[in-house]
Amino acid sequence: MKHMELHILQSVPVACLNRDDLNSPKTAVFGGVQRARVSSQSWKRAIREMAKEMDTSKFNGNRSRRMVYELSKKLEARQIAKNIAKIIAEQVADIVETLDSKLDADGFKKIKTLMFFSDAEYDAIANAVTSDVKISAEKVMNSSNVIETVKEEMKKLDGEDKEKKQEERKKHLEQLEKQLKKDEAALLKAFSDKSIRAAIKSAQLKDAADIALFGRMVANDPSLTVEAASMFSHALSTHKVDNEIDFFAAVDDLQPKEETGAGMTSTLEFNSATYYRFAAINLDMVADEEHLASMTREERQSVVRTFVEATVKAIPGARKNTMNSNTLPDYVLGVIREKGHPIQLVNAFEKPIKSTQGYVIESIKRLNAEYSDLKETWGIEGSAKITIKNSLRDKFNGKPNKKPEDKSVVNTIAGLEVVSLKKLVEEVVKHVI
């Protein structure tokens, strides 16, 4: 398996990047001590959002429960009546996923789980709707309307012969419901799961690189499942971390002068940490038929370029207005391997770093040492590039505008060079198939 690995060290100040069910920063025990943790799901969402901003034409997937709404709008744009469009959309959604009985704010049913779909896939489904499907959906709508009318009439029945009339209406209702089932079966035959599946697959993910990279699970129809071409770990601090509590008070601007005290008081938790982040992408899988084979090599290179840059730069947006913790990585090690599977370097920090002078420098030393050990012990080969913030160079000696005397700290792996992010990205995309 030809793949690319990104090993990232990033210091984040006061923050609560990822909260648990108690509204506290997530943690994990590793190496016998508590570490700050950010789940892979949290960071992946930030990466997906940034990738979409960078390239809307190729990263156009949306994860939502509003499949009925989205598909209905596509059908209405093709001159299909709103009620008929909703019936067709509900059938499609119920085949792909299970419908929930609850309605959204616009009066449409939702599916029970989030589903990752692109505009091109919705368009492909809408384009597959034939005149037979529309006719069948209209019959379903008419049958449903008649049933509702009969039910309303039954509620208004009164008089001496009320029970007799109700009995007659019940028998009539049973016949109508049988007819509705026949009409629904006819609709299912006209627009079957097979034809829906074929329509979805015809889209080929050309506008949905995010689905190819981050994957999609469809429990009702495994044939629509897309295995993620990327892999992520939970980000862990390279050192022990204890969550802290911030007590804050807010002043009531309209409070009378004779009154004292805060308008409200409360607490929230935060921490700060130097994180080790790991991400990888299966370059063989990116180019296969189930993923982005329909793209040209140049288009796949563009996708990987966006993925790498977003992975390096993106950060979860939790409490971004009250604890803005946006930082860029201090160190990135990029590795290309022609075979084997991605390997984390997190065991470099199994023994937590202890320091009163910061964690970044020691984390870089440990990361590079772990890479060298794995290469020498296990024979893991790979070409790699390192990018490092220019300002970080000065931290080694604590002297501004001077390069560190101990160059081995910056580059302890023979044959690797310190480069810019742009150079790192371009070196990586050369290996895209």
From the first residue on, what is the mean pLDDT of each consecutive set of 10 residues in the chain (433 residues)? 94 95 95 98 97 95 95 96 96 93 91 94 96 96 92 81 82 92 95 94 92 94 94 98 94 89 92 98 96 96 97 93 90 90 96 95 92 88 59 48 48 56 89 94
- Give residue 386's pLDDT: 63
CA 365/CA 308 separation, integer angstroms: 23
In this prediction, residue 392 carries a pLDDT of: 47
pLDDT at residue 388, rounded to an integer: 55
Q: Which residues contact 134 (CB under 8 A, 6 or more apart)?
A: 80, 84, 88
Token pair in block for residue 354 = 């202890």
The Cα–Cα gap between 322 and 15 comes to 9
DSSP category for residue 59: B
CA distances from 10 to 25, 180, 306 (A): 17, 60, 20
**What is the token pair recorded at 186?**
């006819």
Q: Is 157 helix (H, G, I), strand (E, B) or coil?
A: coil
Q: State the Cα–Cα distance between residues 77 and 72, nearest whole angstrom.
A: 9
Query: In what helix (H) or strand (E) does residue 81 lie, and over which residues does it extend?
Result: none
Query: Which residues in 16-79 belong to E strands, given as ranges?
Result: 27-30, 33-38, 61-64
Q: What is the pLDDT of residue 417?
A: 59
Contact criterion met (CB below 8 Å) for 239 and 355: yes
Residue 401 confidence (pLDDT): 47
- Is 13:325 a contact under the CB 8 Å cutoff? yes
Burial 15-51 (b: 16+ CB within 10 A, else e): bbbbbeeeeebbbeebbeebbbbbbbebbbbbbbbbb
Which pLDDT score is estimated for 217?
93
pLDDT at residue 76, rounded to an integer: 97
What confidence score (pLDDT) does residue 385 get? 56
